[in-house]
Amino acid sequence: MKVVPKFAVRWSFEHALPRNLVRVAAKRGDLQARLFFAAERHETAALADIFAEVQASGPMVPTRLGYITADHAAVREVLSSNDVRTGFPLNTETRTGRLLDWAKIDFLHPLRPPSLLATEPPDHTRYRKLVTRVFTARAVEALRTQVQQIADDLLDDLEGRPEVDLAQDYCAKLPVIVISQILGVPAQDHDYVLKLGTGAAPSLDFGLSWRATQDVEAALQEFDAWLDQHIERLRSSPGSDLMSQLVAVRDEQGALNDIELKSTAGLVLAAGFETTVNLMGNAIALFEDNPDELRRLREEPQLWPNAVDEVLRIDPPVLLTGRSTLRDGEIAGARTRPNQLITAVLAGANRDPKVFVDPDTFDVARENARDHLSFSAGRHFCLGAALARMEAEVGLRSLYERYPGLRLLPGRERRTTRVLRGFEHLPAKIGAAQRSSNSLSPTPV
Ligand code: HEM
């Protein structure tokens, strides 16, 4: 096979070398490195143990790869701090920096500028302002009926099938249809966009194999090309959707250049389904393993919004996020120098016993479930939090109301991604459909 030099450089520095470093560090018991492998192998119990170990070692724990924190207050402080940035800028004064700059990709990547996830003020403020109003709690509530209709249609499609894969046939489909409608993606493109988004999902992970890196880059490149033609299509025949509005803003005021427009719209689209699919899948697995909690929701359906937050707390779709320090200073009690990495373990902060009583227990009535950090904090707080909560509430409640006899079959399988945690397959027998919209409510006597 022909080796592409730029690709080889990228893969070596972004995947092969860090992976080797992590492997050596794990052998020496480094907490960050152990977390890496436990996440890669989807060892849920080991992950919980590592969170507790990180917490017991202090709010900010030094490791061979920088600091790691699983302390709720420290994670919040890191994410809200003006002394950190997302990403890790290249120092082009060094030979390695110049080499990596030469080898950098020329297509969109969620962790490279001008992605919202990789920019800071003033650019970040400018991009974010353009998309915020579409995702306010009020704007999202106005979409509830539309989301209900999409869920109902998908549930109709499942009816009568002896066996379904809830991850593929329901959890993956609902969010992609919802966000596509918001962004004006035509129905015939939904499956294609879903395929590309799923292919690009490991782009948040480092330490990938050569083959996996090739696949991810191919998906990102294809997504970039699809966005070009989608934007062109909206430019010639605009609709009332968010993406058409963004295109118009770009054209009228020059607020965004073409790359910024593509990056902002592309991130909203991909983030809009690649995470919510995990929330719904993780929820279904948790309900299967904790049938008493589902029973409680049958008796007290008003607990559904809280149950969604409890799922987000105990099995968050985004395991962790990273920051790097800007200057000398102190963050969460730790002395920091410029350009140190900090890994904020969102899933760990969600199990901080100082904040959550009995943190490893799944309790749909937990009073402070909403205090989780699964949507991050500070200026990068998830733009789609209200939408994700509403979609999951409508999607899950409708599923269990329509199919009250639903049971998972053996063979559930986690997605291979490390930062994004969810299920690739959830085989299930759904049983007979129940038409009443109140099937989960107590039967009146
Ligand atoms: C359960 C579902 C979701 C989870 C768990 C989730 C989680 C997150 C997290 C953790 C971040 C911040 C990462 C960081 O601080 O480094 C984030 C940012 C973001 N999310 Fe979500 N997300 C979800 C759903 C959505 C949806 C439905 C949308 C669609 C509108 C969306 C759009 C975004 C965008 C655009 C950002 C970047 C915000 C910024 O950097 O300013 N997310 N999300």
Write out pLDDT tens, residues 127-144. Answer: 998 888 889 999 899 999
Q: From ligand 1's centre to the CA of 14, what distance in Å?
A: 23
Cα(439) to ligand 1 centroid in Å equals 33
419 touches ligand 1 (CB under 6 Å): no
pLDDT of residue 27: 95
443: exposed, middle or buried (Cβ count in 10 Å: 0-12, 13-18, 19+)? exposed
Between the CA of residue 147 and those of 306, 387, 409, what are the distances in Å? 19, 10, 27
Residue partners of 179: CB distance under 8 A and separation at least 6 = 185, 268, 269, 272, 273, 384, 387
> Which range, of 15-24, 186-195, 232-241, averages the lowest pLDDT?
232-241
Distance 39 CA to ligand 1 centre (A): 20
How deeply is 169 buried, as exposed, middle or buried, from its count of CB atoms within 10 A (0-12, 13-18, 19+)?
middle
Distance 384 CA to ligand 1 centre (A): 6
Ligand 1 centroid to residue 427 C-alpha, Å: 27
The DSSP bridge pattern shows strands 66-69 and 341-344 to be parallel
- State the distance from the centre of ligand 1 to the C-alpha of 136, rounded, in angstroms: 13
Ligand 1 pocket member 387 (CB < 6 A): yes
Distance 121 CA to ligand 1 centre (A): 17
One-character DSSP codes across 133-176: GGGSHHHHHTTHHHHHHHHHHHHHHHTT-S-EEHIIIIITHHHH
**Ligand 1 center from residue 275 Cα (angstroms):** 8
| Cβ within 8 Å of residue 202, ≥6 positions away | 208, 212, 215, 216, 416, 417, 418
Residue located nearest, by CA, to atom 5 of ligand 1 = 317
The best mutation among 150, 382, 423 to test binding of ligand 1, ranked by most ligand atoms within 8 Å of the C-beta, falls on 382
Could you identify the atom of ligand 1 that is nearest to the CA of residue 269?
Answer: 29
Q: What backbone torsions phi and psi does residue 84 show, to the nearest 5 degrees?
A: -130, 165
Query: Which run of H or E residues covers position 331?
Result: strand 329-331
pLDDT of res. 436: 63
Domains within the chain, CATH numbers bracketed: 63-87+107-429 (1.10.630.10)
Please report the pLDDT score of residue 3 as a whole number: 56
Q: How far apart are CA 108 and CA 217, in angstroms?
A: 10
Judge residue 314's burial from the number of C-beta atoms within 10 Å of its C-beta, 0-12 exposed, 13-18 middle, 19 or more buried. Answer: buried
Integer Cα distance of 276 and 172 in angstroms: 8
Please write the tens of the pLDDT for every residue from 258-300: 899 999 999 999 999 999 999 999 999 999 999 999 999 999 9
Alpha carbon distance 122, 120 (integer Å): 6
Torsion over CA: 162, 168, 171, 176 (sign): negative
Q: What is the distance between the alpha carbons of residues 359 and 366, in angstroms, rounded to a whole number?
A: 10
Q: Judge whether residue 89 has pLDDT over 90.
A: no
> Which pLDDT score, from 0 to 100, does residue 116 have?
96
The CB of 267 under 6 Å from ligand 1? The reply is: yes
Residue 392 alpha carbon, nearest atom of ligand 1 = 1
**Nearest 10 degrees: Cα torsion 68, 69, 70, 72:** -160
Sheet holding 407-408, edge to edge: 164-165, 427-429, 407-408
- Ligand 1 close to Cβ of residue 113 (< 6 A): no
The band of 393, judged by pLDDT with boundaries at 50, 70 and 90, is: very high
Residue nearest to atom 9 of ligand 1 (CA): 375
Residue type, 292: D
Confidence band of 441 (pLDDT split at 50, 70, 90): very low
Q: Does the beta carbon of 276 sit less than 6 angstroms from any atom of ligand 1?
A: yes
User: Quick check: CB of 377 below 6 Å from ligand 1?
Assistant: no
Select from 130, 201, 143, 204 the least CA-distant residue to 174.
Answer: 143
Tokens 């999951």 belong to residue? 392
Count H helices and E strands in the chain, helices first.
Answer: 20, 12
> Each residue of 248-268: pLDDT tens digit?
877 665 668 889 999 999 999
- pLDDT averaged over the chain? 93
Q: Which residue's CA lies nearest to atom 30 of ligand 1?
A: 384
Whether the CB of 172 sits within 6 Å of ligand 1: no
Alpha-helical regions (H) of 57-120: 72-80, 95-103
- Residues pairing with 325 in the sheet: 84
Does residue 268 line the site of ligand 1, with CB under 6 A? Answer: yes
Ligand 1 pocket test, pick from 77, 116, 275 with the greatest ligand atom count within 8 Å of Cβ, gives: 275
Pocket residue to mutate for ligand 1, from 86, 383, 390, 420, most atoms within 8 A of Cβ = 383
- Ligand 1 proximity of 128 Cβ (cutoff 6 Å): yes
Backbone CA torsion sign across 187, 217, 131, 382 = positive
CB of 61 sitting under 6 A from ligand 1: no
Task: Determine the Cα–Cα distance for residues 105 and 199; give it in Å rounded to an integer.
Answer: 17
Give the C-alpha separation, 124 to 128, whole Å.
6
pLDDT at 442 over 50: no
Alpha carbons 4 and 375: distance in angstroms, whole number: 37
Task: Round to whole Å and give the CA distance between 201 and 220.
Answer: 9
Q: What is residue 16's DSSP assignment?
A: I
Distance from residue 368's CA to the centre of ligand 1 (Å): 21
Q: What is the mean pLDDT of residues 38-56?
A: 97
Per-residue pLDDT of 215-232, as tens digits, reads 999 999 999 999 999 999
